[in-house]
Amino acid sequence: MSESPSTNNRLDVLDYVRGLAIIHIFLYHYYIEWFQGSFLIVPDGVAANIPRLSIFHGGGVLDIFKNLFSFLWVYGFTSVNLFLLLSGFVLTYSALKSKSEGKEQPDTRSSLLAYYIKKLKRLLVPFYITLLLGVAILFLRNLLYPSFSAMPIYTVWDLMKTLFVPFLVYDLPFLQKFNGDLWFITLLLQLYIIFPVLYYALKKYGVWKFIAACFVLTVFYRYIATYYLDTAPMGVIFPATNSYKLFSFFLPRLFEFGLGMSLGYWQFKDSKTLETLRGGWQFLAAVAIMLFGFSLNMYRGGWPLSDAVISIGLFATLLNIGAYFARIRILKTLMLKLSESSYEIYLLHHYLLNYLLMPFLVLFGFKNELGFWIGIPVFFVLSTVVGMGGQRLSALAYSLGSKKTTVAPR
pLDDT at residue 54 in the model: 75
Q: Taking residues 78-82, report their average pLDDT.
A: 89
pLDDT at residue 239 in the model: 55
Rounded CA separation 135/305 (Å): 39
Q: Taking residues 333-355, report their average pLDDT.
A: 92
How confident is the model over 41-52, as pLDDT tens digits? 777 888 887 777
pTM for the full predicted model: 0.88
Q: Taking residues 304-327, report their average pLDDT.
A: 93
Q: Which residue from 8, 20, 3, 2 is spatially nearest to 336, judged by alpha carbons? A: 20
- Which residue intervals of 272-328 are DSSP H helices? 280-296, 303-325
pLDDT surpasses 60 at 406: no
Rounded CA separation 105/112 (Å): 8
What percent of the chain has pLDDT above 90? 37
pLDDT at residue 108 in the model: 61
How confident is the model over 174-200, as pLDDT tens digits? 666 678 788 888 888 899 999 999 999
How confident is the model over 98-133, as pLDDT tens digits? 877 666 666 566 678 888 888 888 888 898 898 888
Q: Taking residues 386-405, report their average pLDDT.
A: 76
Average model confidence (pLDDT) across the chain = 83
**The most confident of 25-39, 144-158, 202-216, by mean pLDDT:** 202-216
Contacts of range 328-337, beta carbons closer than 8 Å, 24 or more positions apart: 332/16, 334/19, 335/15, 335/16, 335/18, 335/19, 335/20, 336/6, 336/12, 336/15, 336/16, 336/19, 337/19, 337/384, 337/388
pLDDT at residue 2 in the model: 42
Model confidence band, residue 267 (pLDDT cutoffs 50, 70, 90): very high
CB within 8 Å of 209: residues ≥ 6 apart:
none
Count of other CB atoms within 10 angstroms of residue 81: 26
How confident is the model over 219-252, as pLDDT tens digits? 999 888 888 877 666 666 555 555 556 677 889 8
